[in-house]
Structure 1
Amino acid sequence: MIKWKLEPRELILDFTWNIARGSLDRKTNYFVTVEEEGYKGVGEAAFKTAEIINPVELTASFDEFVASLDTHLGGAEHLTDKLEAAHLPAALRFALESAYIHFLAQLSEKNVHQVLGVNRLAKAETSFSMPIMGLQEAKDFFNQRDLSRFKALKLKVNKQTDPKYIHQMSELFNGRIRLDANEAFPTNEEYMYFERELLNLKDRIDFVEQPLPASEHEAYFELKFMRTIPLMADESLLDQEVTKYFIERFDGVNIKLQKAGGYLKALRQLRKAKELKLKTMLGCMVESGLGISSALNIAYGFDYLDLDGSLFLKSDPFPLVIEEKGQLLYGELH
């Protein structure tokens, strides 16, 4: 008989993660284990920075869902159908689905990407994200961690960020620059003032991620015709389908397993985004090597990878990912 378990784990960060919507030095993620007759799979639920999670309610929702499952589950699609019908947070849905798929992989003696029916990268080139900080602190952070080994650097910004900061960091770093505002700019006027100050860097900037709140549907429609630097949707894309809406407002979409709520949903989002000629990025939350190695299973085919979440941790409870010269390498899951 299959047994399910949900456990919280506190992750301690190696530095303060400061972004437009909040900051943290430690974070509690939740891990789902599914086990039967010696075979086991584990999945990770990682919620957004500053998102308030009630552990009692989360556990009650988990217990209720597990109690509703048949004694003998079918394939992953069967579980995914049940998850999509359940009123569970997307991150918990992903932890449940991925735990079961990892269990099936061990049971069938296959790699996870084989169970999913997708190609797999031997190694993956990730960007590294820098939190919001002052210029001198940022320079020290960059040098102490030797971030020049990465080919892309993502700078977190907010509406108080001086464009001169971007210019000076671009002088320190020779690679590609990516900017992430996490909905920090209230209006197009404020954002466009910021962007105009970066015009001489536009050939080095891959994109700006989610400058306005996701609720600003009409403003994004207008901004698409005003901007000179590509726009990447993040908070605007959660677990919904990728539709014409995104072409009209963005140049690309940031797909995250924790937002999509599952491997299969994220792969559908990727396929649809490709059909619509949108650029695609595979992103992450602050999560352990388990969550990052899970993302690596579907990384093939994305235009950009931002899978640095486990590199922020002082100690990783699931050291399944190794970073070398800005590239991620991983072994077998479970």
Structure 2
Amino acid sequence: MRLRTHLVRMRDKDVWRCAREEIPEHRAVLVELSANGESGWGEASAFMTAVYNSETDTVVDRLHGLDLDVDPHQPEQTWQQLAPQLKDCPFALAALDVAAHDLAARLAGVPLFEHLGLPDPSGLPSSYSIGLDTVDVMVDKLNRTPGWGLYKVKLAKADDLHVLRALREHTDAPFWVDGNACWQPEALFEVLDELPGLGVVALEQPFAVTEVEGQLAARDRSPVPIFADESVTTPDQVRPAAGRFDGINVKVLKAGGLTPALAMLRECRELGVASMLGCLPESSAGASAAAHIARLADHVDLDTVALLDIDTGTGAGLDDTGRIRLAGGTGTGFTPDWTSPAHEGPAHEGNGR
């Protein structure tokens, strides 16, 4: 296989903020694997770089150091072969794995979901994320996207219920509230009983990963389910988390690719743990791949493409009410747009054969 990497920069319609950080632009590496006249595409975001070793230079260097003498028709075998070498660089592994799955499906002449033996995800609803800002701006974000079935609301503190009350004046849709691992247990305990009345149907990662005692207490007392995000990123963490969380937000990049993400979603079903299929700041390249496995999840949060002002190309998208629309064609359906300002220059050539 031939490997090429492309540096890209995207921008959202609004500056993305949560309790942990502010992201004015999204840097990433597009990964292109080619064989027999076809190309598959993956994406590695430069997100939480200190945690995930995901700086673009690092991702490019690690990928171009690989020997890609592998079978383009066997992406799972490719993942098994290369995962030990990229264990400390999960986004690079994920981008490579997504590109390998995309390529295999294109070589087979079928959409990715069909190649994986999954149902067509078309029509599944996604939530829409309302990033942290002033209350007026958050209300404006909601009003710009009427009719979605679920809104994922970022809150800086657990007791910032005035934000939810203001949003509730403009929609009857349920709220999924995300603390991004930044809340304090005591503040949440004081407002837990008020959440159902505000239409909150789930909480996501309210506390830091190390706050195990607080999470256990919260799960015992909470009238709404609590989902893990930062606390569960890889398949080996799913089973232990079943005793601490009601659900898990599975993200392809954090998992290290489609191969482990599929394993996580299937284990959630086996254990009776609810699942959400989520995303990071990604372009259509990454989101298109995730969309094809959406039928395995109980909830879907793939709104990154709806938030973007500058994209890397075209692929799976969401309609005006947040329902998945596949791009058609083979593989993920992603097609790069080389005229987009997201693309930063010439590709880097790899060591593939």
Length-normalised TM-score, structure 1:
0.91
From 287, 307, 328, the counterpart of 2:324 = 328
Which residue of the partner structure matches residue 36 of structure 1?
A: 35
Which residue of the partner structure matches residue 78 of structure 1?
A: 77
Matched, 1:213 2:208: yes
SS in 1 for 2:25: strand
Measured after TM superposition, the shift of residue 299 of structure 1 is 0.4
Measured after TM superposition, the shift of residue 160 of structure 1 is 7.1
Measured after TM superposition, the shift of residue 140 of structure 1 is 2.3
Unaligned runs of 5+ in 1: none
Amino acid at match of 1:176: P
SS in 1 for 2:290: helix
Amino acid at match of 2:147: R
Q: Please give the residue correspondences for 1:125-274 in structure 2 after superposition, counting only pairs within 5 Å.
A: 125-143=125-143, 145=144, 147-159=145-157, 162-186=160-184, 188-201=185-198, 204-274=199-269
Measured after TM superposition, the shift of residue 53 of structure 1 is 4.0
Measured after TM superposition, the shift of residue 257 of structure 1 is 0.7
Unaligned runs of 5+ in 2: 335-353
Measured after TM superposition, the shift of residue 148 of structure 1 is 1.9
Q: Deviations over 1:280-322 (max 9, x none)?
A: 1000011111211111110013111111011111122222133
Q: Residue 269 and residue 47 in structure 1: after superposition, are their counterparts in 2 closer, same or farther (change >3 A)? A: farther
SS in 2 for 1:249: coil
Conserved 8 A contact 1:24-1:49: no
Distance in 2 (CA, whole Å) between partners of 1:117 and 1:241 is 24
Conserved 8 A contact 2:207-2:215: yes
SS in 1 for 2:310: coil
Which residue of the partner structure matches residue 100 of structure 1?
A: 100
Q: Deviations over 1:240-273 (max 9, x none)?
A: 3354422221111101111111112111111111
Identical residues among aligned pairs (%): 25
Q: Deviations over 1:134-187 (max 9, x none)?
A: 2122222322x2x2220111110122762121122122111111100000113x
Length-normalised TM-score, structure 2:
0.86
Distance in 1 (CA, whole Å) between partners of 2:94 and 2:249 is 16
- CA RMSD between the two structures: 2.0
Residues matched between the structures, number: 326
Measured after TM superposition, the shift of residue 47 of structure 1 is 4.2
Amino acid at match of 1:207: A
Measured after TM superposition, the shift of residue 93 of structure 1 is 0.9
Conserved 8 A contact 1:281-1:302: yes
Which residue of the partner structure matches residue 341 of structure 2?
A: none
Matched, 1:63 2:58: no
Q: Residue 184 and residue 108 in structure 1: after superposition, are their counterparts in 2 closer, same or farther (change >3 A)? A: same
Measured after TM superposition, the shift of residue 74 of structure 1 is 6.0
Conserved 8 A contact 1:286-1:312: no
Conserved 8 A contact 1:128-1:150: yes
